[in-house]
Amino acid sequence: MTSSTLEHCFQALDALSEEFQIEQIERPGFAGIFSCMHAKSGLEAILSLHDLTLGPAIGGVRCYPYSSQNEALSDVMNLSRAMTHKAAAAGLPIGGGKSVLCAESSKLSSTALRAFGRFIDAFSGQYIAAKDVGIGISELQEIRKATEYVAGWSRDIGGPSKFTAWGVVAGIEVSLEQVYGSSSCAGKTIAIQG
């Protein structure tokens, strides 16, 4: 993230109402990590922008009842870093980002999701939210009521599962080609963990 882009984000974050408590978390190698609390809705979130060299960050919103702030921070950092590498390996003009909502998805209110959308909106397109664990199309549609920076929110588009599955199969085939000289799975035992 360039310094002018980062400064613009800081100004936009400062402009959010006093309802929000936002803190930047400094970590080497990350464009920016921000925690967000919105007491009125119960929102507790962390947004991590790992690398924006190739373009704005796209990454899923994960909703999970983390046992601590440190666990949530570690997860969002690892996930955003992985998104940077995945996008670069695929040759996409996007950077790596991720966000986590520290809650059980069943207890997440529409008010909290819209507050999260306002938080995302302050980044002016430097982070584009998408579906992940605990967040479905209906949750993305709530977030989208407060920001345009959401991908995969339409039921017509559907979820990313088929693309993830295709990527796993493609990765297996490339690995087999490298190791055995053929991408065929015939006669091979393959374990998938994740």
Answer whether 141's CB lies under 8 Å from 72's CB. Answer: no
- Strands 95-102, 43-51: pairing kind: antiparallel
Residue 170: the pLDDT is 77
Query: Taking residues 23-36, what's their average pLDDT?
Result: 94
Residues carrying an active site annotation: 98
Query: Taking residues 72-76, what's their average pLDDT?
Result: 97
The model's pTM: 0.82
- Strands 32-38, 43-51: pairing kind: antiparallel
Query: Taking residues 119-140, what's their average pLDDT?
Result: 93
Query: Taking residues 45-50, what's their average pLDDT?
Result: 97
| Residue 163 pLDDT > 70 | no
| Residue 73 pLDDT > 90 | yes
Residue 4: the pLDDT is 60
Provide the strand spans (E) within the chain. 20-24, 32-38, 43-51, 57-64, 95-102, 127-130
Residue 194: the pLDDT is 64
In Å, what is the CA distance from 100 to each residue of 4, 47, 73, 149, 168?
26, 7, 8, 16, 23
